[in-house]
């Protein structure tokens, strides 16, 4: 069984890579930095690449998966969060960078994989509840994840032989949450209070536990319509 996962150096992507390696899969990881807990594993194959470098992504990915005939699963996990602030205070340059990583890098990946890999069975894009909540302060991140949801929906119509899903993984205690936890609470961003309250509780598991939850959900979403948005907390 082959799985490709982006953003494997830390957080959920790292947890998912470890989960599938333990299950005996061949894991193809892509991230900007290597991960010492993965690189020594004989079934881990790694490409160091920044997905915001869109022009280089296609060629590098094509070479990376050149000998792969089948991907049983692709998890588009890599993503970034910019500064929490109002949209009218967010520069277009910031929005463009977030969109490049969270959306357009994934488009390039899907285009290469659907063109080059003979059998692409399932594609799961890690989305967010922010894609539908419209919470104040999430600016470019919300825009990017909402666009990602539609990207997945559209591709599901073009490639019916592949099951697509945009999946919100719920709250996960990662470096992103560390950044949010240390922000000054402002009344105009009420979701920060909710996140700070959840940190350190079962509502916000660490990456390894979250990976198990997400991997279970990935199996379950196959029974839902291809191209749909799902949330692990509601499955």
pLDDT in tens, 62-110: 999 999 999 999 999 999 988 889 999 999 999 999 999 999 999 999 9
The CATH number of the domain covering residues in 2-173+206-226: 3.40.50.720
The answer to whether residue 207 scores a pLDDT higher than 90 is no
**Poorest-pLDDT segment among 93-97, 122-126, 195-199, 220-224:** 195-199
pLDDT-derived band at 21 (thresholds 50, 70, 90) equals very high
Residue 145: pLDDT over 70: yes
pLDDT of residue 200: 66
Percent of the chain with pLDDT over 70: 91
- 190 versus 101: which is more confidently predicted? 101
What is the rounded CA–CA span in Å between residue 230 and residue 164? 11
Contact 13, 78 (CB under 8 A): yes
Structural domain boundaries of the chain?
A: 2-173+206-226
CA end-to-end distance (rounded Å), the chain: 25
pLDDT at 192: 72
Pairing of strands 70-71, 73-76: unpaired
User: Mean pLDDT over all residues of the chain?
Assistant: 91
Q: Which of 33, 130, 25 is nearest to 70 (CA)?
A: 25
When pLDDT is cut at 50, 70 and 90, the band that residue 183 belongs to is low
* Mean pLDDT of the region 127-147: 94
Q: What are 19-27's contacts with CB under 8 Å, separation 24+? A: 19/208, 19/211, 19/212, 19/215, 20/215, 25/1, 25/72, 26/1, 26/2, 27/3
β-partners of residue 78 are none
Which position has the token pair 């994934």? 106
């Amino acid at each position: 069984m082959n799985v490709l996962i982006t953003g494997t150096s830390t957080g959920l992507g790292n947890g998912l890579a470890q989960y599938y390696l333990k299950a005996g899969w061949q894991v193809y990881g892509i991230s900007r930095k290597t991960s010492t807990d993965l690189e020594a594993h004989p079934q881990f194959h790694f490409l160091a690449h920044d997905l915001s470098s869109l022009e280089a992504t296609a060629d590098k990915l094509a070479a990376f998966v050149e000998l792969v005939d089948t991907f049983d699963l692709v998890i588009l996990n890599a993503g970034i969060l910019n500064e929490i602030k109002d949209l009218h205070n967010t520069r277009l340059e910031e929005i463009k960078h977030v969109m490049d990583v969270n959306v357009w890098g994934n488009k390039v990946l899907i285009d290469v994989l659907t063109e080059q890999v003979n059998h692409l069975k399932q594609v799961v894009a890690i989305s967010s509840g922010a894609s539908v909540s419209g919470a104040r302060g999430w600016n470019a991140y919300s825009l990017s994840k909402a666009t990602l949801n539609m990207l997945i929906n559209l591709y599901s119509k073009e490639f019916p032989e592949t099951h697509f899903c945009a999946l919100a993984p719920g709250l996960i205690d990662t470096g992103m949450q560390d950044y949010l936890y240390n922000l000054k609470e402002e009344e105009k961003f009420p979701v920060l209070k909710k996140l700070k309250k959840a940190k350190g509780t079962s509502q916000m598991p660490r990456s390894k536990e979250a990976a198990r939850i997400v991997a279970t959900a990935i199996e379950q979403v196959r029974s839902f319509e291809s191209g749909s948005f799902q949330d692990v907390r509601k499955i």
